[in-house]
Structure 1
Amino acid sequence: MSEKVDVKKSLPSYRAKQGRFDVVDVPDLQYLMVDGHGDPNTSPLYREALEALYPVAYRLKFASKALGRDYVVPPLEGLWWADEMSAFTTARDKDAWHWTLMILTPDWIDQQLFESVRVDEVRLESLSEGRCVQTLHVGSFDDEGPVLERMHEEVVPEHGLQVTGKHHEIYLSDARRVEPSRLRTILRQPVTSVLTPRA
């Protein structure tokens, strides 16, 4: 049996510091994914997504281990978007949120192995984010708004960039076991360069 791999530890894009906004290049990565809509605190779809995602993640881990490659199941992640970005930064209108819950999966996991453990709601898909701005938020999810507003309105433009793609969160803490004030979450936003008009 080979050594157990912690996938996220080998990826610089899975490290961030509070109070610092870094521009990082994120490689294409594959994830288990489930889609949904609505307030994660009250939507039955959110609970059902978690209940579908985690069993597949662990069945996949054990199937891989049986083949000689063991790994640590990475933390939960989420892509979040809404018709108006203010639903995240100022209004925090959670009923308007769309989301994709995800768990990072090692690159040696192929479609055939996934099909052996899958359930209908869960898919295995590659995500291409490329250049991103990210920071570490420590505290309640409900306190993310000012951090995101600063990221979108100040940091991104100051670097000659513009927001593209979906807001991405990586949950380094287990919200079931850690008090809200101590939650650690990487906030990531894909960006692209602002095109300079030709003279």
Structure 2
Amino acid sequence: MDKVDYKKAFKELYQPEATPKIIDVPAMRFIQVDGHGDPNEPGGEYQEAVEILYALSYTIKMLFKKEQAPAGYVDYVVLPLEGLWQVENNEEFDGTQKEKLYWTSMIRQPDFVDEAVFKIAVQLTRRKKPHLTLEKARLVTFTEGLCVQCMHIGSFDEEPVTLEKMKHFTENNNFVFDLSEERQHHEIYLSDPRKGSSSNMKTVLRYPVRALCSEN
């Protein structure tokens, strides 16, 4: 059985162009971990969240190499790390005040991953990595809906330039940004910041929008 690479199978979600586009994002299943504060803090809350997500995701992937696979199982490439970001009062995203950030770090899971599979993965991961606070993790179905999306190429600190381009595109096409507690700034990390130059990093940027009502 060939492995499914979701980044290639769903290019509209993971390989957008460097020009903004409106997209209706479908429901998907994720393991998520919430947190607050600077994601760059060594040994901090965000670093543990990322370790939890990858530990559970790879445990699930390897689980059915030995165990009987559930209905709907496919072999697959583990998906990239993603993040939902917001600041207090649902203001426009500002990554320069990192200590004030609230975030949800997450990795998408194939549809066959249900609560039973997730529970097994937590049990197995706890045996291998008892230092991780696995109680922070949850399995959710997340529907993002209408968004504007664009590929950002460069460092994270240069994102405001791409976000401004997305905002102009949104306004020129009769939409507005639509941030709320439920709808947040979204990033998908296609590059490992530890490898290569930051100028070549690829990050999918996604912002919730809503259509403006047409005047009669």
2:15 paired residue number: 15
SS in 2 for 1:28: strand
Count of residues in correspondence between the two structures:
193
What is the aligned-residue identity percentage? 39
Partner of residue 168 from structure 1, selected from 186, 189, 193? 186
What CA distance in whole angstroms lies between the structure 2 residues aligned with 1:180 and 1:169?
16
Q: CA deviation at 1:86?
A: 4.6
Match of 2:172 in 1: 158
1:140/1:110 CA distance change after superposition, 3 Å = same
Residue 134 of structure 1: aligned partner = 149
Q: Aligned partners of 1:104, 1:64: CA distance in 2, in Å? A: 18
Partner amino acid for 1:76? Answer: L
Deviation at 1:3, TM superposition (A): 1.7
CA distance in 1, matches of 2:184, 2:158: 19
Please give the per-residue CA displacement for 1:67-124, whole angstroms capped at 9, x wherever unaligned: 26311001111011112535517xx211111111111111121111111112312111
Provide the rounded CA distance (Å) in 1 between the counterparts of 2:177 and 2:188.
18
Take 1:138 and 1:126, find their aligned partners in 2: how far apart are those partners?
Answer: 29
Specify the alignment match of 2:115 in structure 1: 111
Q: Which runs of 5+ in 1 are unaligned?
A: none
Equivalent of residue 99 in structure 2, options 91, 95, 98: 95
TM-score w.r.t. structure 2 length? 0.83
**Does the aligned pair in 2 maintain the 1:25–1:130 contact within 8 Å?**
yes
- Tell me what 2:208 maps to: 190
Taking the aligned partners of 2:30 and 2:65, their CA distance within structure 1 comes to 18
Alignment partner, residue 5 of structure 1: 4
Q: Is the 8 A contact 2:84 2:104 kept in 1?
A: yes
Unaligned runs of 5+ in 2: 123-133
Q: Counterpart of 1:143 in 2: which secondary structure?
A: helix
**Shift of residue 150 of structure 1?**
2.8
The runs of at least 4 aligned residues of structure 1 exceeding 4 Å deviation read none
Shift of 1:158: 1.2
Quote the offset at 1:147 in angstroms.
Answer: 1.5
CA RMSD after TM alignment: 1.8
Instruction: Tell me the secondary structure at the aligned position of residue 34 of structure 1.
Output: strand
2:74 to 59, 69, 76: 69
Q: Secondary structure at the match of 1:136?
A: strand
Q: Distance in 2 between matches of 1:55 and 1:86?
A: 32
**Which AA in structure 1 matches 2:83?**
G
**Whole-Å separation in 2 of the counterparts to 1:98 and 1:72:** 28
Moved more, 29-38 or 63-72: 63-72
Deviations 1:22-69 (A, max 9, x none): 111211111111111111112611111112111001001112444263
Equivalent in the alignment of 1:181: 199
Match of 1:78 among 83, 93, 107: 83
Cα pair distance change 1:183/1:169, threshold 3 Å: same
**Residue of structure 2 in register with 1:27 after alignment:** 26
